[in-house]
Structure 1
């Protein structure tokens, strides 16, 4: 594996994440500093918190499904990258996203 490529990619991802965090923090500060109604600020923060939890749920379910797909590939003993291997990974990724959809709908109906 070419670790020389991994370092710049990781560096780029870290910079992008830091920019996102700074922009989110400035947006929050501007929102609070604008002297908007306290109820409006709370509702926006609650909506953002819910969005972050749903994002974590989606990534968790999708990554579990992809892990299960890799486990199935390993259990089947496939060693070569074939269309069947790609189909298994694409299929479990889709199933993970569908599972997230149904779980988030159920959570929304309860909440």
Structure 2
């Protein structure tokens, strides 16, 4: 595997995350500077916290389903990239998304 391709990908991800952090911080600072009502600011921050928790729940569920998919590949003894391997991984991702959706609806 050519690890040189990971450098631009990592740089892109780091650049994206740093720009996102700066934009989010600037948006929060502008909301405070506008002197909006405290109730409005509190509801925005609470909504952001809820979205962050939902994202963590979703990613955790998807990664767990993918781990089970990889465990299934190992259990079947598949060593080559075949359509069955991809079908198992895509199915695990889909099941992870559906479970995350069901969990998110139940926690509301």
* Alignment TM-score > 0.5, same fold: yes
- Output the CA distance in 2 between the equivalents of 1:90 and 1:4: 27
Structure 1 unaligned blocks of 5 or more: none
> How many Å apart are 1:66 and its aligned residue?
0.5
> How many Å apart are 1:8 and its aligned residue?
1.2
Count the aligned residue pairs: 108
TM-score by length of 2: 0.98
Cross-structure match for 1:100: 100
1:63 aligns with 2:63: yes
> How many Å apart are 1:27 and its aligned residue?
0.5
> How many Å apart are 1:13 and its aligned residue?
0.4
RMSD (CA atoms): 0.6
> How many Å apart are 1:75 and its aligned residue?
1.0
Cross-structure match for 1:35: 35
1:22 aligns with 2:4: no
4+ runs of 1 displaced by more than 4 Å?
none
- Output the CA distance in 2 between the equivalents of 1:3 and 1:30: 41
- Output the CA distance in 2 between the equivalents of 1:13 and 1:102: 29
